Structure 1
Amino acid sequence: KKGGRINATTALAANLLNIKPVMKFGTGKLDIFQKCRGIKKSRKAMLDAMHNELETTFKKEYEAGKIYLMAASSSTSEVTADWISQIRESFPGMDVMCDDLSLGLSCHIGPDGLGIGCSCMPL
């Protein structure tokens, strides 16, 4: 709302319904992947999307064990630690690295942003 991307009525409705947008980076653009009611459902949507990416886009590297996961956060250290724990539970045995979200991204999404991504090791 503050940035002018949505109007006040939409922002109020999203706030009342506790709607959390789940975003996805594509090739050069950021799109809304899914809208969820509550943080638990949005976290599950992100984990499900990562499972899907590992089974499709990164299947060869995933099967070879050449993938590591990356968690990102603009939230508190407690929330970040909980997010990393949830990722490790969902992807047992996989390496998980974590870093703060960049300031450029954090200023657009605001506080308490979470993310997940993956990177391939050389084959």
Structure 2
Amino acid sequence: MIGIVTDSTADIPKELARQHEITVVPLQVIFGKEKFLDGIDLTPGEFYQKLRQVDKLPTTAQPSPGAFEVVYKKVAETCQSIISIHISEKMSGTIRSAQIAKDSLPDLDITIVDSGYVHSPLGLMAIEASRLARKGATKEGILQLVEKFKRSLGILFLVETLQYLKMGGRIGGAKGLLASMLKIQPILTIKEGQVDAFKNVRGWNKARQVMLDTMGETLKADGQAVIFVGHSDSPQEAEELAERCRERFAPRELNIWEIGSVVGTHAGPGTLAAVYFNEFRQDG
């Protein structure tokens, strides 16, 4: 049996994580002197409520190597191998902690994977890896699937302001947009493991339309598309985008996920994201 481990920036709903037997290692969100484990001590709703009440933005911290050691030892009690899939190394030190833990446990078969993403792309990789693992796939087959997802996924997102990304140091290739933010609505993506500018348009509604048109360049309206809509405390916006996706692409699967507290710290409230790909055969 192969065990799948990820971290809380995957934003996998708890019930799904339990259903797919995925072990989630939480990052920390820090409001002043208060520390919270992402998704455990603080739900997304509680986080955004708290975020609106503070003058100073919270910070985040990756899990310690010790936290990973505890998880790996526990998973190894029932699994011969472990695949640990995590937030892009360019966004967080989480993979560094996981690697230190792996190095301290030489007797365990642990493979660390940099997803190159965060939020639902990472969560999707973990879920699909778990599905294959429970079907008896080999470690090599699962890793090949993850690599295929990394190449095939599309992600576009809108933020109400770039200030959260700027202050959190996660703005990446989108930093050039700051000066003209008042005049444009940037559409962002993740490229080579970090936030990057995709396109600049005028207005939120136009940006949503461009997102849909861009998705249409990849997705086939044949019932095989898979779409994840993510939002940070904007359920109505998310449902509206999801409905437009249903009408246009008739996807095989469409899910709406909340953006959790760690990702929300850097993206800010009001973020709207779309992750998409065409279904492909999963060999293992």
- Normalized against structure 1, the TM-score is what? 0.70
Query: Aligned partners of 1:63, 1:37: CA distance in 2, in Å?
Result: 28
Could you say which structure has the larger radius of gyration?
A: 2
Match of 1:109 in 2: 267
How do 1:1-123 residues align onto structure 2 when only pairs under 5 Å count? 1=163, 3=167, 10=179, 13-15=180-182, 17=183, 19-54=184-219, 62=220, 65-91=223-249, 93-94=250-251, 95-119=253-277, 121=279, 123=281
Query: Aligned partners of 2:218, 2:192: CA distance in 1, in Å?
Result: 14
Q: Secondary structure at the match of 2:215?
A: helix
Match of 2:22 in 1: none
| Cα drift, residue 47 of structure 1 | 1.1
Query: Aligned partners of 2:222, 2:213: CA distance in 1, in Å?
Result: 20
Alpha carbons 1:70, 1:116 under 8 Å: kept? yes
Amino acid at match of 2:191: G
Query: Aligned partners of 1:64, 1:76: CA distance in 2, in Å?
Result: 29
Query: Aligned partners of 1:110, 1:87: CA distance in 2, in Å?
Result: 24
Alpha carbons 1:71, 1:117 under 8 Å: kept? yes
Query: Aligned partners of 2:242, 2:224: CA distance in 1, in Å?
Result: 19
Structure 1 residue ranges without an equivalent (≥5): 55-61
Q: Secondary structure at the match of 2:217?
A: helix
Match of 2:20 in 1: none
Amino acid at match of 1:14: M
Structure 2 residue ranges without an equivalent (≥5): 1-162
| Cα drift, residue 39 of structure 1 | 0.8
**CA offsets 1:20-59 (integer angstroms, 9 cap, x no match):** 21111234232100112111111112112211233xxxxx
Query: Aligned partners of 1:121, 1:90: CA distance in 2, in Å?
Result: 16
Query: Aligned partners of 1:21, 1:105: CA distance in 2, in Å?
Result: 18
Alpha carbons 2:221, 2:248 under 8 Å: kept? no
- Normalized against structure 2, the TM-score is what? 0.34
Q: Percent identity?
A: 22
Query: Aligned partners of 1:47, 1:63: CA distance in 2, in Å?
Result: 13
